[in-house]
Structure 1
Amino acid sequence: MAPLRTALLQGPAGVPADIEQSLGVLDGAAGRAAGQGARLLVTSELFLTGYALGERLAARAEAAGGAAERRVAEIAARHRIGIVYGMPERDGRAVFNTARFAGPDGEPTVAYRKAHLFGPYERGAFTPGAEPVVQAELDGVRIGLLICYDVEFPEAVRAHALAGTELLAVPTALMRPYEFVARTLVPARAYENGLHIAYANRCGPEGDQHFAGLSCLVGPDGVVRARAGHGAELLVADADPAVRAAARAETPYLTDRRPELYRSLHRDRSSD
């Protein structure tokens, strides 16, 4: 199977809460990525609206099948590239922090709702998702979705590895001073689970937050194939299935697991 050329768009979406401008940025990035042979473009957490919206966030949320989702599908089809992007999703009275995948044929396929909400702001703004593994397929590669803080939980990434995810796309809004997550923890997650991770972060100031950048594509051998700095950037690198097979053969964590020993760990011992 041929490598899946993958692009990561690092940067704010433009003016926070300006969806129209964000769609323009996305259209340009999709064209540049496709021009370099990329078949997948991964953008940051809440890319279309901005992250630090405060009380404006709920007003920007759209239900599934809304206008923004249709526009992204049009961009994906025009450039023949799969796109992973984030925006707030409304479902009844609940608002979710959602990442969606639009296929290169323009068909929206799957949506993932962030399960692990970070800090008082997210817990006050969003309802946590309840589906741990959401996957799509592109060019024969099984792509999984998580969002930012989710990847910091080993159980979340291991669930994807056990479900057959080959490339884990992680739209992110990692803030300073947590750069060690991008530099150390994400490569460790890729290595211990034998999968590629496309970790696409925001960068620069937004509201009272300052985002760390450092987006990366990491191989299943723990080697960083591409790494951004602290400014806006479009990364392009290959996710090679052959590397995944070799890494899992060399470091067979998944096959050497002993699940029968771990069952007791599922009980919450915090009150013991």
Structure 2
Amino acid sequence: MTPPLRIALLQGPGGVPADAGESVAALEAAAGRAAAAGARLLVTAELFLTGYAVGDRMSALAEAAGGPSARRIAGIAARHRIGIAYGYPERDGEAVFNAVRLVGPDGGVLADYRKTHLFGDFEKAAFTAGAEPVVQADLDGIRIGLLVCYDIEFPETVRAHALAGTQLLVVPTALMRPYEFVPQVLVPARAYENGLHLAYANRRGPEGEFDFAGLSCLAGPDGVVRARAGAGDELLVADADPALIDAARAETPYLADRRPELYRSLG
């Protein structure tokens, strides 16, 4: 039987966006704390590397997927023997993507995902939307899927992951006020209706014109929130137990009772 995976969710930062060097240094400190608490995976917020409220500097701050910050973060993962999922702006030629990279405890790349649903005028002007809806990797015997923030608000995205075998859905996030109902209501509902664990790591506090809501959480396949942050900087640590998935899906068999032939007209 696959043992539980201990996860650390790094909520923050707040205030003026940090440069990549400061962000990587903060990540090193958090990785040390998370590893000392027994975590095997550390999850940061959306655009952790640069900050969200950087306006028209986003393109200049973007790095290639294997750029200098990526190499430093791979070293952090290997030193602390912990997987890291971190948000950053990815440059690929002329395009910039709102991306998340998952590296393993040996520093090797496990997966790269580009946000598929862009929120608001700022993101639509700054980024190109990703085109691959389900990106997965295995860590310690658990199938991990990746989404970013607004993606989670579309039921189709989470259902696609559930049908593809995702057990833990990792979601770096930059959720603003007044949308607190998303982590409070929607995230636990998504976990419950799809029978999977959902790790939601948010930014917090004022940043430029935005005020991020915090409230990062780990929601289980039974809809129970096993860890919840407040409004400040925080490192949450909690376990995602794959054994709960089978039990939850047996108790509430949404996936087994689906009738796809009835949904074809939904497009």
Q: Return closer, same or farther for 1:22/1:14 CA change in 2, 3 Å cut-off.
A: farther
How do residues 76-91 of structure 1 correspond to structure 2 at under 5 angstroms? Answer: 76-91=77-92
Cα separation, 1, equivalents of 2:129 and 2:107: 28
Give the aligned partner of residue 146 of structure 2.
145
Deviations 1:141-169 (A, max 9, x none): 00000000000000000000000000000
* 2:153 alignment partner AA: E
Are the counterparts in 1 of residues 15 and 206 from structure 2 also a CA contact under 8 Å?
A: no
Q: How does 1:118-129 map to 2 (within 5 A)?
A: 118-129=119-130
Report how many residues are paired: 266
Distance 2:39 2:76 in 1: 14
Q: Is the 8 A contact 2:31 2:82 kept in 1?
A: yes
CA contact (8 A) 1:48 1:87 kept: yes
Unaligned runs of 5+ in 1: 267-272
Kindly report which structure 2 residues correspond to 1:14-29, keeping only aligned pairs within 5 A, or say none: 15-29=16-30
Q: Which amino acid aligns with 1:198?
A: A
Distance 2:15 2:8 in 1: 19
Structure 1 contact 158–193 (Cα < 8 Å) conserved: yes
- Deviations, residues 182-203 of structure 1 (Å, cap 9, x unaligned): 1000000000000000000000
Q: Secondary structure at the match of 2:255?
A: helix
AA partner of residue 146 (structure 1) = L
Code of the residue aligned with 1:152 in structure 2: it is E
Letter in 2 for 1:118: F
Q: Deviation of residue 109 (structure 1)?
A: 2.1
Task: Supply the RMSD in Å over aligned alpha carbons.
Answer: 0.9
In structure 1, what is the Cα distance between the partners aligned to 2:246 and 2:217?
Answer: 21
Residue 270 of structure 1 corresponds to which residue in structure 2? none
Q: Report the TM-score when normalising by structure 2.
A: 0.98
Counterpart residue type for residue 10 of structure 1 = Q
Partner of 2:52: 51
Q: Which residue of 1 aligns with 2:262?
A: 261
* One-letter code aligned to 1:39: R
Within 2, Cα distance between the matches of 1:239 and 1:44? 19
Q: Which sections of structure 2, spanning at least 5 residues, go unmatched? A: none
Superposition misfits of 4+ residues, deviation over 3 angstroms? none
- Counterparts of 1:262 and 1:18 in 2: how far apart (Å)? 46
In 2, Cα distance between the equivalents of 1:169 and 1:86?
11
Q: Does 1:250 align with 2:251?
A: yes
Q: Percent identity?
A: 75
Give 1:17 deviation, angstroms: 4.5
Contact 1:62 1:89 in 2 (8 A): yes
How many Å apart are 1:63 and its aligned residue?
Answer: 1.2
Question: Partner residue of 1:221?
Answer: 222
Q: Which residue pairs with 1:32 in the alignment?
A: 33
